[in-house]
Homo-oligomer: A and B are copies of this chain.
Amino acid sequence: MTSGIGRRRAAARDEGGSAYTERRTEIVAAAAEMFKRNGYRGTKLADVAEAMGLDRASLYYYVGSKEELFQDVVGGAVEANADAAEKIAAGTGTAPDKLRALVVGLMTSYAETYPFLYVYIQENLGPGARDRSPWAREMARHNKRYENAVVAIVRSGVEEGSLATDTQPWVVAFGVIGMVAWSNRWFNPHESTVPATEIGAAYADTLLNGLINRG
């Protein structure tokens, strides 16, 4: 029966009918809330089914396993961030404005999706990662899209003369990302006395204007 359900699920996903896709998206969103509240270990597929008013067999029509659900949740956040960065890079405005939007957006996205983007960072799914599963490779592609968008913003700023640096744009871009992404080691939006918006704005100010007091 499991493999029968598996085949039906694969067929339904490939077909991509809008009712099926919408229902699956709702399930992923519900699971995200449960993962946030109860952690990965504390979340059972049966609980997700119950929250969605489904029996387990019906849930299996949409989702193959808890791991698949978790990867969808994390992957959705990573993909959305890459999309946002590309949108900022392609938008109108000066490079400093874009860099500010990107830095603030990245920091607040960590809080809004907490802990999913940090899970991704801590899994270290970059190009050198040992995990070469299709999911890990998809994550690496989104990550590369994100990095490329930041490099493009810095490079266009140097070209238009709004930004200045003595090194390569990609070195600056990795520094920008690092400043914000390092927060995976110390930031917890539920416990922090300093909100993500303040951190993001302060990091954008530092990166654009510097810490030197020109008072």
Contact = CB atoms under 8 A, between A and B. Distances in A.
Given A126-B185, A185-B126, A206-B165, A211 B178 contact: no
Contacts of A174: 182-183, 186
Contacts of A172: 202, 206, 211
Interface string A188-215: 0000001000110111011111111111
A212 B207 CA distance: 8
A15 interface: no
A178 to B, nearest CB: 2
A25 to B, nearest CB: 31
Q: Which of A124, A167, A172, A198 has the most CB of B within 10 A?
A: A167
B194 A167 contact: yes
A112 to B, nearest CB: 19
B205 A165 contact: yes
Contacts of A161: 213, 215
B185 A171 contact: no
Nearest to A179: B179
Contacts of A208: 210-212
A115 interface: no
B215 A165 contact: no
B166 A96 contact: no
A34 interface: no
Nearest 10 pairs of A and B residues by beta carbon: A178-B182, A210-B210, A167-B202, A164-B213, A179-B179, A209-B210, A163-B211, A175-B179, A178-B179, A208-B210
Interface of A: 96, 99, 122, 124, 126, 154, 157, 161-168, 171-172, 174-183, 185-186, 194, 198-199, 201-203, 205-215
